Amino acid sequence: MRVLIVKLSSLGDVVHAMPAVQDIRAALPHARIDWVVERGFSGLVERCEGVVGVIPCELRRWRRAPLSRETRQGWRAFRTALRAQAYDAVIDLQGLSKSALVAWTARLAPGGRRYALANRTEGSSYEAPTRWVAHEAVRVARHVHAVERSRALCASALGYAQAGPAVFGLRAQQGAGLAADEVALVHGTSRDDKLWPEAHWVALGRRLSASGLRIGLPHGSVAEQDRAGRLAQALGKQASVWPRLDLGSLSDRIAGCAGVVGVDSGLSHIATALDRPHVQIYNFDTAWRTGPCGSARQRAVFAAPTPSVEAVWSAWEQVRAAP
């Protein structure tokens, strides 16, 4: 059986879809699983156990100049790659018009079927075309964690019983270039209202340093690099700014570190997938939908307008003590 997963972006959403792949592997050991994803995340999907083929697309870039020659050439090449294989099941885990277009473009084997979400879930985007192009639209619970939504859709589509806790299957080289006494502070995120105050990061960093740990500061943009530099300067020689790394190399460094404290961001979700000791900071009560779940080594901390340093430190001590 050949299965195509359509989950294009964003980073956290891609990570949250990985347990569904592990469920398919467990229920259908002989299935071949391919995945369509935005090119920027393809290196991470290549590290997901059970994914045989990764088909990168660049819809985000193409829609900025839909009629340009480069876009037309890129779409033709993508369509050729997508249709090179016929699938018994195409499963749209995104629920948007762009993912519906990809699912519709994919080639089906004789008797093959397309599956999609039948309804919106709380806090998630949803567009009707995803169910218009599907042979079967699967209704899921409205109040559901992002991980469990993908797991439920795949289980219903492929006819197996979902069982057990989520397993992400994200491969990484633990300890690659990073000492085990370093804590990664994931201070950057896509929205300013998800940020934690810099003064809080400095106070937390000083507590971590006093406990014998070093501080690592990743970044993915110029603004994040500038913030990392300010934090490193305030924290002194125990803190260092990481070089700009691709997602695979970032996963390796996170896998080898002592733990992670981060805001609601893609890198924090990678820490969850790798089951590192991890505290995730929420300024909004949305941890039930995207936060860590099921592991004593991970905790979400929520408060409005933002959690205190004391609350985050207390959670860190708990996850560090967990087996």
Backbone phi, psi, residue 156, to 5°: -65, -40
| Long-range CB contacts (within 8 A, 24+) of 223-231 | 223/188, 224/187, 224/188, 227/187, 227/188, 227/198, 228/187, 230/198, 231/185, 231/187, 231/198, 231/201, 231/202, 231/205
Is beta strand 239-241 parallel, antiparallel or unpaired with respect to 214-217? parallel
Class of domain 182-321: alpha beta
The domain locations on the chain are 2-158, 182-321
Q: Could you report the per-residue pLDDT of 35-68, keeping only the tens digit for each?
A: 999 999 999 999 999 999 999 999 999 999 999 9
pTM above 0.85, yes or no: yes
Intrachain domains 2-158 and 182-321 with the same fold: yes
180 pLDDT above the threshold of 90: no
Per the CB < 8 A criterion, the answer to whether 84 and 65 are in contact is no
Question: Which of the listed CATH numbers 3.40.640.10, 3.30.70.260, 3.40.50.2000, 3.30.70.890 matches domain 2-158?
Answer: 3.40.50.2000
Note the pLDDT of residue 136.
97
Q: Predicted confidence band at 176 (pLDDT cuts at 50, 70, 90)?
A: low
